[in-house]
Structure formats: C-alpha cells, structure tokens
C-alpha cells in the first residue's frame, strides 16, 4: 500500500512536470511562430536607412522621403529637413 502511494506521488509529479514542459514549449513556440510569421518566407531583409535629420536607422518601408529622396524617420524630421 505504501508503494502504491509512492507510485501515485511519482505519477502526479511526472504528469505535472510534463504539463509544465508542454506549456513552456508552447509559449516558446508561440513567440517564435509570431516572429516567423512577421518575416515572410524568402523575403529579403529590409534595407536600413539613416534618417537625414537625426541619423536613426529604420527599415526602408518605414522611412519617409523628401523631394530630394532623403530618408527620414518621422514627419517631424522630414519637415525639419536634413541637419
Ligand atoms: Zn529622425
């Protein structure tokens, strides 16, 4: 009877550990999955451009350009012009 109780405790502990590991893996896979979804398969990494006003680097699709084609990080810096 004593051994049955020990086996029961071990069984519960193993089940609990397996559940905890599954939750941990699921959370990690979820975080990685969203990162994978953000990057389209086969897509080239975005070209990084430096803001002509403050010099901060930003991906080309997020950049704003003035009439001369200079990249800016924001509308405020585009209006501020190159430094
Ligand atoms: Zn800027």
- Which residues span the domain enclosing 23? 1-42
Tell me the DSSP string of 16-77: HHHHHHHHHHHHHHHHHHHHHHHS-TTPPPPPEEE-TTT--EEEGGG-EE-TT--EESSHHH
In a shared domain, residues 53 and 74: yes
Q: Are residues 32 and 55 in the same domain?
A: no
Q: Model confidence over 19-69: pLDDT tens digits?
A: 887 777 777 666 555 555 555 666 678 899 999 999 999 999 999 999 999
pTM higher than the cut 0.85: no
Same domain, 36 and 8: yes
Give the Å distance between the CA of 53 and the centre of ligand 1.
5
**How far does the centroid of ligand 1 lie from the alpha carbon of residue 74, in Å?**
6
Higher per-residue pLDDT: 33 or 4: 4
**Does position 17 have pLDDT exceeding 90, yes or no?**
no
More confident residue, 83 or 43: 83
């Amino acid at each position: 009877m004593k051994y049955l109780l020990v086996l029961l405790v071990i069984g519960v502990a193993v089940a609990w550990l397996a559940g905890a590991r599954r939750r941990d893996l699921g959370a990690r896979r979820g975080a990685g999955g969203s990162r994978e979804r953000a990057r389209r398969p086969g897509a080239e990494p975005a070209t990084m451009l430096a803001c002509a006003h403050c010099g901060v680097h930003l991906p080309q699709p997020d950049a704003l350009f003035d009439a001369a084609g200079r990249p800016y990080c924001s509308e405020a810096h585009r209006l501020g012009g190159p430094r």
